[in-house]
Amino acid sequence: MLKPLYKYLLATILIMSSISLQAFDFGSVLGGGDSSGSDTNVFDIGEMISGVKDITRTITGIDEEDEIEIGRDAAAVLLGASKPVNDPELQRYVNRIGRWVVDQTDRAHLPWRFAVLRSDAVNAFATPGGNIFITDGLLHLLNSEAELAAVISHEVAHVIKKHHIKAMSSLNTSGLSGLIKLASLTKEGKSNQMATQMVGQVKDMYLRGLDKDDEFEADSMGTVIASRAGYDPFALMAVLQTLDSLDPEDSGLALLYKTHPPASDRLDKLEPVLDQLDESAQESPEPQKRFNRYVRKRS
């Protein structure tokens, strides 16, 4: 049951992301800057930069192949609850933004996939190995391409730091070795054995959420990644301010509030990072035109 769902995801997103990144004209996003991401002196925040471009493993004992297998199974569980929005242009657009963002990291080689899910809930999710999902509910709250890139970058940071692997290891009674065993069952085609063990564990993790310090770290690292991609470093702050202004009784926010620290706390933690980034950074008009074309048209 799990594998066909993931194949549906791959088929959908591969079709939707068939246009090359070169056709996307990211020069305007960078404002004429170097797209290689080599200008690290612009963002002088030391270890955070090295954490983006010189990744060290935070979880040992699991290789990328196992990480990707675990992520595929987790993605299948999420897709069992919500399917991708049937809008090929929108999905291509989000994949282009996502690919540009991950190209700023040393894990660009992962099989990254990005999708907008048909859900009114306000949330975004990542799975190990590079599957990123944003709900329609959250997308409709965003005001610019920079804010979209900031949300994606936050989720990318979770994958880079293997936060979900850490969380799933703590939930698994056998720890990390248990996760590796589940991945091996998948590779051996024993999906039924894997399903009974994995589905409950994945649901439990996404209902509980990650450690709050992992969320703070993803905010900080995500801001750096988005900045390296040429986006306004204050965009995530704008997203958090929007979330902070919403009615906490809104049912669409229930899971987000349950699984994430309060937006006000996240803003406080993010300020020291923003103090070290370029305050004059501004998004050029072209990205906003793209955002209006692919996202605002659906509002």
CA angle 12, 17, 21 (to 5 degrees): 170
**How far is it, in rounded angstroms, from Cα 234 to Cα 217?**
16
**How far is it, in rounded angstroms, from Cα 178 to Cα 142?**
39
Q: Which residue has the higher pLDDT, 28 or 11?
A: 11
40 C-beta neighbours (distance < 10 Å), count: 15
Query: Is position 20 within any domain?
Result: no
Query: Is position 57 within any domain?
Result: yes
Cβ atoms of residues 67 and 180 within 8 Å: no
Question: What pTM does this model have?
Answer: 0.77
**How far is it, in rounded angstroms, from Cα 279 to Cα 1?**
49
Spatial neighbors of 206 by CB under 8 A, at least 6 apart, are: 78, 125, 259
**How far is it, in rounded angstroms, from Cα 72 to Cα 66?**
10
- Would the pLDDT of 3 be above 70? no
Looking at the 3D structure of the chain, how many domains does it have?
1
96 C-beta neighbours (distance < 10 Å), count: 20
Spatial neighbors of 280 by CB under 8 A, at least 6 apart, are: none
Query: Could you tell me the sign of the dihedral formed by the alpha carbons of 135, 140, 145, 148, in that order?
Result: negative
Cβ atoms of residues 116 and 126 within 8 Å: no
Query: Is position 22 within any domain?
Result: no
**How far is it, in rounded angstroms, from Cα 195 to Cα 270?**
38
pLDDT of 246 reads 94
Query: Is position 27 within any domain?
Result: no
Query: Is position 257 within any domain?
Result: yes
Query: Is position 34 within any domain?
Result: no
47 C-beta neighbours (distance < 10 Å), count: 8
pLDDT, tens digit (0-9, with 9 covering 90-100), for 123-179: 999 999 999 999 999 999 999 999 999 999 999 999 999 999 888 877 655 545 566
Cβ atoms of residues 52 and 106 within 8 Å: yes
- Poorest-confidence range of 4-13, 99-108, 257-266? 4-13
- Scan for tokens 């690290």, then name that residue: 40
pLDDT of 172 reads 59
- Would the pLDDT of 236 be above 50? yes
Mean pLDDT across 93-100:
97
**Parallel/antiparallel/unpaired status of strands 131-135 and 124-127:** antiparallel
Query: Is position 17 within any domain?
Result: no
Mean pLDDT across 59-86:
84
Query: Is position 30 within any domain?
Result: no
pLDDT, tens digit (0-9, with 9 covering 90-100), for 20-38: 333 233 333 323 333 333 3
Q: Which domain holds residue 121?
A: 2-11+40-298
Cβ atoms of residues 267 and 238 within 8 Å: no
